[in-house]
Chains A and B, each alone.
Chain A
């Protein structure tokens, strides 16, 4: 088995374990490259089918290209898409400028997910996070419990031995399952190339700039780049020494922002 195959088989095994053991299961799709790879792995695991719903936590602030990509892929792949919005917060004017970024992410993503979990009663959700994205994510486990108030105590995680994914029955309200944890950013792009996967065109450079990480319009900045194809991006990452989330405002707000966000239940 080569490197990408090994990553792929490990992910598929976990996705199938989650489907068997954690019922009902949902999958989060942000339309970014990672969660699109996740969706593809779900299709591989279930031979082209989606045996559970796919959720988009829509903040209403996403870059326009993201919505176009979502609708195109959802139609082409037959994604059972459920769009989730925190309508109440949006109606009350929630936004990064009015309330601050931490409060905005919490309301429009974390609280929206809480609402969806309550409505659908999900036992677990699949998420496309990776260890190399951010220091605190390097501490994540494949199966990661969250309490009812969504907190994650990184320091008090149960043991995760091999792929036996044991879990704590008493405290957890839902489980986060992370099938891409072992992928790096470069792996994701190599996998996109190998599988010829569609990705949102915001990732490709136009006029000397591209998005390396995509999300909400007010909080994502394109980075300087001339990478216009997947091959270019792979080369750029191989040579480059910048950080993937350099364009992401929420990580920079203060040094421990990500740990705070994650402790509050952020993805």
Chain B
């Protein structure tokens, strides 16, 4: 089984870093030196991931970090995301790589703007599983009643967004209740602990269906030219007859090259491989190889749900570098059809720009044909980044033009 990554998200100060520290401590994942310091109180639990001087001085995560949890023979990467709106880019860096999310809600404060935004982003990023922690339950005068209110609140939010939720766990990261052990004071709660909820996350299924191979490069310094790239879904085997999209040129996989030992029979979804093709001159970076009968459609337009990272708004007519898997194109924003406030979860009238932190439905005009597919079928072909000179200005999830296989 591969190692899952679990992102801890939610409003600033709701206890994400402290909870990660507590999980590491109680599961025995820390070094002896750190464990001792944490037990004696010399090491603040949040500072295990909040390692930057600035983070410790300001008691606030600035940039996401990862730590490794070991429990019952399993290893899980815990991704500590910052909750402050200003650091949303870093939150996305952490969350985009996650297989599951834990959304924290402070029992006293309840659902806040960043809770809503992060929950929406978890849905948008297609993180397939999520649990909730109602944290700081130690502070509630009547914990059971407060938990009931918060659980209803967060379930209503999840329902509004369409986010499937697993367990909603009452816990105290600071005092260690219901994190790895049940602790005292929460006898009315019968569900899993935080650790149990995390261990219940499953490995997402590999993307199946008709094969897609994104060509990264063609190497001619090898004995035979090879097309290097990645299987985005399905499987590639020696002997496969494929076409390269856009263009439709036909190629046959003669062999799957590998080092140090000769070759492979097949490449599964997610594999980075190198194909020896009968007509290597027909392929180049950015093409997608697929079986002719079930090939994707290429188009000069892509429609996507786009989140503006800021600091500048996105405007109709603005130009960007567009990256989708190995396809690097130029894009111009053709239209902004919908706008959505991700903190209030409220639509806004579209008016030609998309402000930072807003989500929009955009039509992008490309300078060449692009293979963009439904991300539910081909995750890597269903997401993209818009980049300007300052780096990523926005990311988006493809909205397919029509149902495709």
Contacts and interface: CB of A to CB of B under 8 A. Distances in A.
A42 to B, nearest CB: 10
A233 interface: no
A241 B31 contact: yes
A73 B62 CA distance: 41
B385 A141 contact: no
Nearest to B65: A138
A51 B2 CA distance: 30
Nearest to A256: B53
A184 interface: yes
B97 A47 contact: no
B64 A44 contact: no
Contacts of A242: 31-33
Interface stretch (B148-156, B183-191, B387-395): B387-395
A136 B51 CA distance: 6
B49 A3 contact: no
A118 interface: no
B230 interface: yes
A205 B28 CA distance: 26
B217 A16 contact: yes
Among B62, B216, B257, B285, chain A packs the most CB atoms within 10 A around the CB of B216
B72 interface: no
Given A158-B89, A164-B385, A47 B51 contact: no
A8 B274 CA distance: 14
Nearest to A135: B51
Classify chain A's interface size.
35 or more
A1 B66 contact: no
B257 A47 contact: yes
Given A47-B257, A168-B390, A155 B54 contact: yes
B193 to A, nearest CB: 23
Interface string A5-25: 110011011001101100000
A158 B368 CA distance: 27
Interface in B226-243: 226, 228, 230
A225 interface: no
Nearest to B396: A161
A155 B52 contact: yes
A37 B315 CA distance: 45
B222 A49 contact: yes
B19 interface: no
B93 A161 contact: yes
B219 interface: yes
B52 A136 contact: yes
A57 B323 CA distance: 34
B390 A20 contact: no
A1 B268 contact: yes
Interface string B281-294: 00001000000000
A59 B380 CA distance: 42
Instruction: Decide if the interface of chain A is mainly helix, strand, loop or mixed.
Output: loop
Interface string B315-329: 000000101101000
A159 B259 contact: no
Contacts of B64: 139
Contacts of A157: 63, 89-90, 93
A243 B30 CA distance: 9
Given A138-B67, A139-B51, A1 B206 contact: yes
Name the prevailing secondary structure of the B interface residues: mixed
B201 interface: no
Contacts of B52: 136, 139, 154-155, 259
B252 interface: no
Contact of B216 (A13, A141, A256): A13
Contacts of A259: 51-53
Contacts of A1: 2, 206, 268, 270-271
Contact of B389 (A49, A141, A169): A169
B32 A9 contact: no
A12 B272 contact: yes
A43 interface: yes
B92 A44 contact: no
B260 interface: yes
B35 interface: yes
A62 interface: no
Given A160-B93, A243-B33, A259-B51, A166 B385 contact: yes
A236 interface: no
Interface in B70-91: 75, 77, 89-90
Contacts of B391: 158-159, 166-169
A161 B96 contact: yes
B323 A164 contact: yes
A141 B2 contact: no
Contact of A159 (B92, B217, B230, B271): B92
B67 A243 contact: no
Interface of A: 1-3, 5-6, 9-10, 12-13, 16-17, 19-20, 43-49, 51, 131-132, 135-136, 138-139, 141, 154-155, 157-164, 166-170, 182, 184, 241-243, 256, 259
29 contacts: A1-B270, A3-B3, A9-B271, A43-B260, A44-B258, A46-B222, A46-B259, A47-B259, A48-B222, A131-B65, A132-B67, A135-B51, A136-B52, A138-B67, A155-B52, A158-B89, A159-B309, A159-B395, A160-B96, A161-B392, A164-B384, A164-B395, A166-B323, A166-B387, A166-B391, A167-B391, A169-B391, A241-B28, A259-B51
What are the 4 closest A-B residue pairs judged by CB atoms, nearest first?
A: A135-B51, A158-B391, A159-B89, A241-B32
Given A20-B285, A160-B93, A169-B390, 6 more contacts: A1-B268, A13-B272, A139-B52, A154-B63, A164-B385, A182-B77
